[in-house]
Amino acid sequence: MRENKSYYAILGLLSIGPQSGYDLKRTIEQSLGHFWTESFGQIYPVLKKLVDEGLAAVSSEPQTGKRDRIAYSITEAGREMLHDWLLKPITKLPPEKNELLLKLYFGHNLNVEDNLRHVEDFYAKLLQTRDIYTMISREAGPSPHPHRPDYEIMTLQFGQKVVEAIIEWCEETRAELLTYIEKD
Amino acid sequence: MRENKSYYAILGLLSIGPQSGYDLKRTIEQSLGHFWTESFGQIYPVLKKLVDEGLAAVSSEPQTGKRDRIAYSITEAGREMLHDWLLKPITKLPPEKNELLLKLYFGHNLNVEDNLRHVEDFYAKLLQTRDIYTMISREAGPSPHPHRPDYEIMTLQFGQKVVEAIIEWCEETRAELLTYIEKD
DNA sequence: GAGTACATGTAAAACGTTACATGATTGC
DNA sequence: GCAATCATGTAACGTTTTACATGTACTC
């Protein structure tokens, strides 16, 4: 069983429907974006290997007047490998490298105002992220399969929960830092 | 200005006090652990380069009967570089690759029970993490500098907020998945 | 016709983990 | 004496990003 999870991310998307490499990049940004990324430098080599190993198949539909539309689709063997991986327990918690916390931890090297600025910048980005989540959840209509769990919404709710928590942390930390800033 | 943040993580720790490479590894695990990691394969080469560039200095204090104690300490040039980086705005939000969400997103390929199991496994790990945080925050005495912000506590609180949020998400997601499991 | 977005791909560099090698010291 | 831990370091491997190269199609 392959270790590199890029294979499963791509197989998983192909399990929903055929796509080109270019499509995959955008799909990943739009639907897995808040918990996964892949670059072209990964996508294309992975697609090639998937085809070599019979886990995906490539088909080019002729278009009228346009360049052929290339689409990769998952094979039965691909579905099987995806299924096996999905069943396997999760190996490790995410590495969680957080640049803000790294800077803040060493905050004693700066004055309070500069640390506060970092927190506020971060806060502003989080508010944007929250808005994006809100828009996505509004756009998402009712579940296409009402009798099945809506897994996509669940991953979105994860992002929303975490963002709300960090927003709260920013607000509390900001208030705490403000008490250390000299009033004139 | 160097891009690789390992340099700043190590410089930052050296700004608190001199340490050996081995010490650094443990310090990182213990104090930056919930938002940062470094392996020996990074620490030792970075230390070497820091010394080459005059950003850190190495000193070996002779020990009675023991092997010399090697300690790296930050230089003035090192402090300056650390300071410059600390002032710089944070470039990007963490990449956040989350294996659980990746699996869950493709949950339609599994039955509900198997997805539930993943959530429950994750939940169990989170409860452990929460306990660890609780212990750390109990062990941490009052701030050594009551007139300065306690940045260490702030990073810990970040971790606690996030863990609480994800615990809640697990509980809600679990409940939701249970409604889709056939009762016999 | 010029510029932008579409589309595919490769190469190099950077980043990061793991495994290994080596040897000293401590505790049983 | 043996095992565990301390301590340092390197090499190999795998992952990931970035930059580049190439060409097509659409839109102003």
User: What is the helix (H) or strand (E) element at residue B20, kind and residue range?
Assistant: none
- Position A96 scores a pLDDT of 81
Q: Look at A14-28, A116-130, A142-156, B131-145 and tell me which has the smallest mean pLDDT.
A: B131-145
Contacts of B91 in chain A (CB under 8 A): 99
pLDDT at A63 over 70: no
A67 touches strand D (CB under 7 A): yes
Task: Give the residue carrying structure tokens 């959530």.
Answer: B119
User: What is the helix (H) or strand (E) element at residue A41, kind and residue range?
Assistant: helix A40-52
- Position A93 scores a pLDDT of 65
> Taking Cα atoms as reference points, which of B5, B79, B82 lies closest to residue B42?
B5
User: What is the helix (H) or strand (E) element at residue A6, kind and residue range?
Assistant: helix A6-16
pLDDT at A71 over 80: yes
Contacts of A34 in chain B (CB under 8 A): 96
Q: Which of residues 39-78 of A touch B (CB under 8 A)?
A: none
Alpha helices in chain B (DSSP H): 6-16, 21-27, 40-52, 76-87, 99-105, 112-139, 151-178
Mean pLDDT of the region A81-99: 87
Q: Which nucleotides of C are covered by protein (CB under 7 A)?
A: 6-12, 14-20, 24-26
> Taking Cα atoms as reference points, which of A23, A99, A144, A15 lies closest to residue B102?
A15
A68 three-class SS: coil
Q: What is the pLDDT of residues B100-153, one digit of tens each?
A: 999 999 999 999 999 999 999 999 999 999 999 999 888 777 777 778 999 999
Mean pLDDT of the region B67-91: 91
pTM for this predicted structure: 0.91
- Position A65 scores a pLDDT of 57
Contacts of B115 in chain A (CB under 8 A): 149, 151
Question: What's the Å distance between residue A16 CA and nucleotide C19 C1'?
Answer: 39
Task: Give the residue carrying structure tokens 């209509």.
Answer: A141
> Taking Cα atoms as reference points, which of B68, B108, B78 lies closest to residue A148?
B108
> Taking Cα atoms as reference points, which of B5, B99, B87, B103 lies closest to residue B46?
B5
Question: What's the Å distance between residue A116 CA and nucleotide D9 C1'?
Answer: 40
